[in-house]
Structure 1
């Protein structure tokens, strides 16, 4: 189950608000992603598949996941995903809590800037690789 209060705030806890409004915003893609993760049944083995499916449901991309103990508080694994934000793709994190029971979405902030740079370098590398022909099934 996704932690509802985290999505409406950045990872640092600051509300995500537009400059001219007082109400927190929740972009449609983020809401759809959150709803897709609602059915998470828990456990580390199903984490990647749950996040991959949720990202796909919003026309996003699952980039990679990694062990995250010590990187982010109360986080066992961290998945990096990209979701549509208007005409571009934005980076977002899906964090599996230490108990392996819930996935929470985190917006990049100062504490995770190094992970965003790593994700950007990963994407750059993938774009530079020559496209391999797909084998017929």
Structure 2
């Protein structure tokens, strides 16, 4: 599935659903649903985590944690790790929700080379939770 750019206006920013990982040419349905549920975000940095938590719940996923982006991703204030079902069998996978530098929109990305260490941390976090 190829996603075309969405035109936006200055008063209503809209995230364009695109995959950023090297392995996936487009967002799977589950991630598209997540992206769309975050599309109407009108909060700020303080409400980011709650908005992402609710969106993860809507797609049957889990909110793991959020933290300041601190150079982990370009033009972002915060980054949240989520575990969402992927594919027909619903196997859980780690994705990231990123709050843009203006604090106005949230985009969803698959882990890539720049976030591989954060993905490993998220996997370890899940492993610890499963052992408890």
When normalised by structure 1's length, the TM-score is 0.79
Task: Give deviations 1:75-105, integer Å, cap 9, x for gaps.
Answer: 1100000110133101100000111111011
Secondary structure (helix, strand or coil) at the match of 2:65 reads strand
Contact 1:94/1:104 (CA < 8 Å) preserved in 2? yes
Distance 2:96 2:115 in 1: 9
- Corresponding residue for 2:121? 118
Distance 1:65 1:101 in 2: 17
- Corresponding residue for 2:7? none
Task: Give deviations 1:37-71, integer Å, cap 9, x for gaps.
Answer: 12210311110111001000000000000011211
Greater Rg over alpha carbons, structure: 1
Secondary structure (helix, strand or coil) at the match of 1:45 reads helix
Deviation of the 1:15 alpha carbon: 8.4
Structure 2 residue runs of 5 or longer lacking an equivalent are 1-12
Contact 1:8/1:26 (CA < 8 Å) preserved in 2? yes
Distance 1:89 1:2 in 2: 26
Deviation of the 1:35 alpha carbon: 1.4
- Corresponding residue for 1:16? 24
Contact 1:2/1:104 (CA < 8 Å) preserved in 2? no
RMSD across aligned C-alpha pairs, in angstroms? Answer: 1.7
Distance 1:111 1:29 in 2: 23
Secondary structure (helix, strand or coil) at the match of 2:46 reads coil
Segments ≥4 residues shifted beyond 4 Å: none
Secondary structure (helix, strand or coil) at the match of 1:49 reads helix
Distance 2:67 2:126 in 1: 16
Contact 2:52/2:97 (CA < 8 Å) preserved in 1? yes
